[in-house]
Structure 1
Amino acid sequence: MKKLIDKQEPEHPVNLLGVDFDIVAIAASAGGLKAISQILAHLPATFPCAIVIVQHLDPRHPSLMADILSRYTLLLVKQAQQGDRLKPGRVYIAPPDHHLLVNLDGTVCLTQSQLVHFLRPSADLLFDSVAASYKERAIAVVLTGAGNDGAMGVQAIKQMGGMVIAQDQATSEFFGMPKAAIATGMVDMILPLPEIASALITLIKQVAT
């Protein structure tokens, strides 16, 4: 069900923290849990952006991903729920068998609409919604995974003025998703996994406290 947008609502969520970006959207598949864990482990508790994650999961079983990732990071990690309002320094993970979209008011929309490229959740749908809601204040990150999910979505991110990072081949367990994203010509930075967290901090112009 589409959200009705009030005419008084801003074009995209209002920035209150004086940083260059407001949201980081991460997509991964095979090998993704390890990769995401390493990135989150190197982000400070004061990280000033919301983080939304699509990881391809078995739809037949509940996910323990939020609990596992919580062991590696100072950030608050949770499985996203319908209507969650995105907050800086928090990590929201798409539940199994649900697309995760971000509304114009910075809230989460979960849907079981049709599969996209045989997948649900879909990185393409997440990136599309983030691009529409946050425009130039969004960063998309494509990590290890088979297939090409996310390639269409990174184009939306770039067309709206955002930034795109892809994991390099040497550190990807499966290079399908990063390779497809890179092939679009829309990727700004191709980085080894150990450098992605520091790149995010630099891009967002985090001030150490």
Structure 2
Amino acid sequence: MKYEAIVIGTSAGGLDAVKTLCAHLPADFSVPIAAVLHLHRNTKDDLITLLNREIRLTVKYAEDKEQIQKGCLFIAPPDYHLLIEDDRTFSLSVDEPVNYSRPSIDVLFESAADVFREHIIGIILTGANKDGSLGLRRIKERGGTTIVENPRTAQYSEMPLAAIAEVEVDYILDINEITNKVMELLLRSKCKTS
């Protein structure tokens, strides 16, 4: 089984968590990553500039109809839901907020789970609401791998706790352990397929 995508969801404290998670990933990282951070609708491009300075992956806002590609961290643009279509492209939506959020983690995770099924890793990081727990459950139901930041060490514990209450999570890890676990999972899946 080969992993084909990683999805990340985070809210309060999430920028630092994403930087920590992605800091040691190589520029040619073999699996595309899509992330929802709960951004204010007026968030500027400074966020993308900052992340591009801090990590080696190419960081950009996902665009409608854009093909998912490796070596990139795609961020849901402010005030748009981000979905993954069957043809492995992104779509953007201005449908009503979900869990008071647009973009919503659940929206991305549920669409990604339906496309990638057991070939996806879903990660919930720090946050102060419950968005993402239902999407993570969908990933688990479709056979994907689920990781949640340890609520005891997360900057905000509510989102990790909600995910753990909703899903029998595969791994609960401190933020600085998650990258190593992801690399280990990818290496293990690569060995099994070669």
Q: Distance in 1 between matches of 2:183 and 2:54?
A: 17
1:49 aligned counterpart, secondary structure: coil
For residue 100 of structure 1, what is the aligned residue in structure 2? 82
The Cα shift of 1:43 comes to: 1.1
**Residue number among 3, 7, 14 corresponding to 1:32 in the alignment:** 14
Q: Distance in 2 between matches of 1:34 and 1:192?
A: 13
User: What RMSD over aligned residues (CA atoms) do the two structures have, in Å?
Assistant: 1.3
For residue 173 of structure 1, what is the aligned residue in structure 2? 155
Query: Does 2:42 match 1:60?
Result: yes
Query: Does 2:174 match 1:187?
Result: no
Moved over 6 A (4+): none
Contact 1:20 / 1:205 at 8 angstroms: preserved in 2?
no
For residue 103 of structure 2, what is the aligned residue in structure 1? 121
Q: Which amino acid aligns with 1:73?
A: I
Structure 1 residue runs without a partner (length 5+): 1-18
Structure 2 residue runs without a partner (length 5+): none
**Residue number among 150, 167, 176 corresponding to 2:132 in the alignment:** 150
**CA shift digits 1:52-104 (9 cap, x unpaired):** 00000111343422211111211111111111101111110001000000011
For residue 196 of structure 1, what is the aligned residue in structure 2? 178
Q: Which amino acid aligns with 1:123?
A: I
Q: Distance in 2 between matches of 1:104 and 1:113?
A: 19
1:190 aligned counterpart, secondary structure: strand
Q: Once the two structures are aligned, what percentage of the paired residues are identical?
A: 38
**Residue number among 97, 107, 115 corresponding to 1:133 in the alignment:** 115
The Cα shift of 1:48 comes to: 0.8
For residue 64 of structure 2, what is the aligned residue in structure 1? 82
- Bigger proportion of residues as helix: 2
